[in-house]
């Protein structure tokens, strides 16, 4: 029969009491057998005593609220158990730590992805449009389709297209890969944001000679510095050119804190001019 | 022993607190001490003693730990906490006050 620690302790206390009683009776002149029998007789129903001890109702304190007593007992019991079993305590605490950490991580993700609104004006009016394959998989909209959608749709106030590119930024003989985003004309006005450097492009903006583009924002500079580690303070003022995308018509950068679509540092006008 | 005395209800706790007020004792030692100072006229029932010990420990008046006895046995020794010492003082004053009053009434001359 397995006993909980409290019952085990009571049993051992009673055992000890009986042993002492037997010793005393032997001292009084009884034989050990007689002493044991006499001790058992005097002790009566030891099971009853053990139960009574186990179920002893703690005395009520003066003025302590009764409702809190069981809670207080549970708390003290828990602390005693934890102190008595260090290994168990470590396991318990580790379990709680992992549980809390996992919950925190999951909540952070849910908070960022689901609960937190997008950092644009009227985020509830923003909708992402995708095409779907016959198998039900979403895939991106092609440029001609986007142009047609934007022209013919009657559901949205405005539509903007965006795509990801990696541009090559060339400066003072260095070349740096810049994570960039191709966006359509209406992108900045649709999201209600403006580039921190450069200017938003519009449908009327024709090709601008690359030499006139001076986009070197702090973000671009930082990207360069981490790449080349040779940036000087003066390097910031030098002009840049974009080599791999000669169709670049405008070039702007936003602040580094721009969220997704996001970590992009450069923007270029992407929509083909239609004739 | 012929002239045994009954333990008055509610006095066991006070006697137990008194028994452990000087040094820690195990349950058997507490019962033995009370019996010996009363010349064996007062016996302490185990069925009342151990519930009282556990109740008072739970209440914070006693603390306890396993220790070896002189004969090398492991026994649970109880000692008085500060809270227990306060409780003993309160109960003793209350007891002596009421004992004094009972005695005064019983010894008073009734002449009407």
Q: In a 3-state reduction of DSSP, which class is residue B68?
A: strand
Q: Which two tokens stand for residue A224?
A: 């360069």
> CA-to-CA distance for A240 and A211, rounded, in angstroms?
8
Contact B50 A59 (CB under 8 A): no
pLDDT the model gives residue A147: 85
Kindly tell me if the per-residue pLDDT of A63 is higher than 70: no
Of B29, B50, B69, the CB nearest to A53: B50
Of A16, A44, A52, the CB nearest to B73: A16
Of B32, B46, B71, the CB nearest to A43: B46
pLDDT the model gives residue B97: 95
Contact A56 B46 (CB under 8 A): no
Start-to-end CA distance of chain A, whole Å, equals: 92
B65 → chain A, closest CA residue: A9
> CA-to-CA distance for A46 and B91, rounded, in angstroms?
30
Helix (H) or strand (E) holding A25: helix A5-27
The residue with greater pLDDT, B109 or B86, is B86
Query: Cα separations (Å) of A225 from A17, A176, B36?
Result: 82, 10, 91
Contact A16 B28 (CB under 8 A): yes
Flag the least confident range among A137-141, A249-253, B94-98, B101-105: A249-253
- Average pLDDT over chain B, rounded to whole? 91
Q: Kindly give the residue spans of alpha helices, DSSP state H, lying in A111-217.
A: 143-152, 187-191
Query: A163 pLDDT band (50/70/90 cuts)?
Result: confident
Query: A185 pLDDT band (50/70/90 cuts)?
Result: confident
The residue with greater pLDDT, A269 or A58, is A58
Kindly tell me if the per-residue pLDDT of A148 is higher than 50: yes
Query: A224 pLDDT band (50/70/90 cuts)?
Result: very low
The residue with greater pLDDT, B61 or A167, is B61
pLDDT the model gives residue B21: 93
Kindly tell me if the per-residue pLDDT of B109 is higher than 60: yes
ipTM for the complex shown: 0.83
Contact B59 A14 (CB under 8 A): no
Q: Which residues of B touch A (CB under 8 A)?
A: 26-29, 32, 46-47, 50-56, 58-59, 69, 71, 73-76
pLDDT the model gives residue B1: 53
Contact B73 A9 (CB under 8 A): no
Flag the least confident range among A93-107, A138-152, B33-47: A138-152
Report which of B72, B89, B67, B69 is spatially closest to residue B80, judged by C-alpha positions: B89
pLDDT the model gives residue A91: 92
Kindly tell me if the per-residue pLDDT of A60 is higher than 60: no
Render the burial of B81-106: b for 16+ CB within 10 Å, e for the rest: beebeebbeebeeeeeeeeeeeeeee
> CA-to-CA distance for A1 and A4, rounded, in angstroms?
10
The residue with greater pLDDT, A94 or A228, is A94
Query: B80 pLDDT band (50/70/90 cuts)?
Result: very high
Kindly tell me if the per-residue pLDDT of A257 is higher than 60: no
Query: Cα separations (Å) of B106 from B100, B101, B102, B111?
Result: 10, 9, 6, 13
Min CA distance, A48 vs chain B (Å)?
8
Kindly tell me if the per-residue pLDDT of B104 is higher than 80: yes
Could you tell me how many CB contacts below 8 A there are between chain A and chain B? Answer: 68
Kindly tell me if the per-residue pLDDT of B76 is higher than 90: yes
Query: A238 pLDDT band (50/70/90 cuts)?
Result: very low
> CA-to-CA distance for A58 and B41, rounded, in angstroms?
29
Query: A198 pLDDT band (50/70/90 cuts)?
Result: low
Contact A48 B47 (CB under 8 A): yes
Kindly tell me if the per-residue pLDDT of B31 is higher than 90: yes
pLDDT the model gives residue A145: 86
> CA-to-CA distance for B43 and B15, rounded, in angstroms?
12
Query: Cα separations (Å) of A47 from A34, A239, B54?
Result: 22, 94, 16
pLDDT the model gives residue B49: 92
Min CA distance, B105 vs chain A (Å)?
30
Query: Cα separations (Å) of A72 from A54, A146, A270?
Result: 18, 67, 68
> CA-to-CA distance for A36 and A21, rounded, in angstroms?
8
- Average pLDDT over chain A, rounded to whole? 71
Kindly tell me if the per-residue pLDDT of B79 is higher than 60: yes
Contact A59 B73 (CB under 8 A): no
Query: B45 pLDDT band (50/70/90 cuts)?
Result: confident
Contact A14 B75 (CB under 8 A): no
For A129-140, the pLDDT digits (tens) are 888 888 888 888
Flag the least confident range among A40-54, A72-86, A183-197: A183-197
Min CA distance, B107 vs chain A (Å)?
34
pLDDT the model gives residue B16: 95
Chain B residues in contact with A52 by the CB 8 A cut-off are: 47, 50-51
Report which of A177, A244, A193, A58 is spatially closest to residue B56, judged by C-alpha positions: A58
Min CA distance, A107 vs chain B (Å)?
41
Question: For residues A56 and A48, is the Cβ–Cβ distance under 8 A?
Answer: no
Kindly tell me if the per-residue pLDDT of B112 is higher than 50: yes
Residue for token pair 């999951």:
A106
Burial class for A38, CB neighbours closer than 10 Å (0-12, 13-18, 19+): middle
Min CA distance, B33 vs chain A (Å)?
13
For A210-220, the pLDDT digits (tens) are 333 444 444 44
């Amino acid at each position: 029969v397995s006993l909980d620690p409290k019952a085990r302790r009571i049993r051992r206390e009673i055992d000890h009491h009986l042993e002492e009683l037997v010793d005393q009776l032997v001292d009084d002149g009884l034989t050990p057998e007689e002493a044991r029998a006499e001790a058992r007789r005097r002790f009566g129903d030891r099971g009853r005593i053990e139960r009574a001890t186990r179920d002893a109702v703690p005395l009520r304190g003066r003025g302590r609220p009764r409702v809190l007593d069981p809670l207080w007992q549970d708390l003290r019991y828990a602390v005693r158990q934890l102190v008595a079993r260090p290994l168990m305590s470590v396991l318990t605490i580790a379990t709680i730590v992992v549980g809390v950490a996992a919950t925190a991580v999951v909540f952070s993700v849910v908070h960022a992805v689901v609960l937190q609104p997008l950092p644009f004006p009227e985020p509830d009016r923003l909708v992402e449009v995708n095409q779907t394959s016959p198998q039900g998989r979403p895939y991106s909209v092609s440029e001609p389709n986007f142009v047609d959608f934007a022209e013919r749709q009657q559901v949205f106030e405005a539509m903007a297209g965006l795509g990801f590119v990696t541009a090559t930024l060339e400066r003072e003989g260095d070349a740096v890969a810049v994570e960039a985003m191709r966006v359509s004309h209406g992108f900045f006005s649709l999201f209600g944001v403006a580039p921190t450097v450069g200017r938003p492009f519009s449908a009327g903006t024709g090709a601008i000679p690359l030499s006139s583009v001076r986009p070197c924002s702090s973000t671009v500079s930082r990207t360069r510095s981490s790449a080349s580690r040779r940036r000087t303070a003066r390097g910031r003022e030098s002009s840049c050119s974009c080599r791999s995308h000669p169709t670049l018509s405008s070039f702007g950068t936003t602040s580094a804190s721009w969220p997704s679509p996001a970590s992009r540092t450069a923007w270029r006008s992407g929509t083909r001019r239609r004739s | 022993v012929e002239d045994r005395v009954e333990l008055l209800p509610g006095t066991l706790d006070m006697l137990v607190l008194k028994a452990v007020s000087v040094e820690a004792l195990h349950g058997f030692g507490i019962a033995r001490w009370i019996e010996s100072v009363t010349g064996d006229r007062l016996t302490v029932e185990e069925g009342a003693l151990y519930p009282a010990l556990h109740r008072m420990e739970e209440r914070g008046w006693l603390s306890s730990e396993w220790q070896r006895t002189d004969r090398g046995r492991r026994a649970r020794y109880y000692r008085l906490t500060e809270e227990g010492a306060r409780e003993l003082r309160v109960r003793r004053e209350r007891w002596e006050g009421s004992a004094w009053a009972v005695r005064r009434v019983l010894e008073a001359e009734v002449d009407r």
